[in-house]
Amino acid sequence: AQSVAQPEDQVNVAEGNPLTVKCTYSVSGNPYLFWYVQYPNRGLQFLLKYITGDNLVKGSYGFEAEFNKSQTSFHLKKPSALVSDSALYFCAVRDGGNAGNMLTFGGGTRLMVKP
């Protein structure tokens, strides 16, 4: 079975400071990892994914994530936070041995960026 843990319910950061949203995962095969963002009363929007290759993945809106196989982590990062980044962030994993788009999501982390 695959699972995702987002240990922080909320992350607070000042505008202009770097941000990190943590994610750890568990899969039986090779992991396919994703980050999605959800704004109030909206669906989820894709930010970035790791399938294979470089451990540092760059995505939309200046976000990036670092895949660490030994620590089974895929933390989301941004060098300089914006107030408009405030939203709910979900990490998701798919076992590479499974077909289809069955993603397992974490419980979400609310990011609050204060001016």
Partner 1 sequence: ETGVTQSPTHLIKTRGQQVTLRCSSQSGHNTVSWYQQALGQGPQFIFQYYREEENGRGNFPPRFSGLQFPNYSSELNVNALELDDSALYLCASSPRGVEIGELFFGEGSRLTVL
Binding footprint of partner 1 on the chain (CB under 8 A): 4, 32, 34, 36, 41-46, 49, 51, 90, 92, 94, 98-108
Name the minimum Å distance from CB 115 to partner 1: 26
CA distances from 86 to 82, 89, 99 (A): 8, 9, 33
Name the minimum Å distance from CB 5 to partner 1: 11
CA distances from 56 to 17, 27, 113 (A): 20, 20, 23
Q: Which is nearer to partner 1, 34 or 113 (CB)?
A: 34
Q: Which is nearer to partner 1, 13 or 33 (CB)?
A: 33
Q: Which is nearer to partner 1, 45 or 71 (CB)?
A: 45
For residue 94, the number of C-alpha atoms closer than 13 Å in the C-beta half-sphere is 15
Backbone φ, ψ for residue 79 (5° rounding): -65, -35
Name the minimum Å distance from CB 87 to partner 1: 14
Residue corresponding to tokens 């894709």: 46
Q: Which is nearer to partner 1, 41 or 115 (CB)?
A: 41
Residue type, 103: L
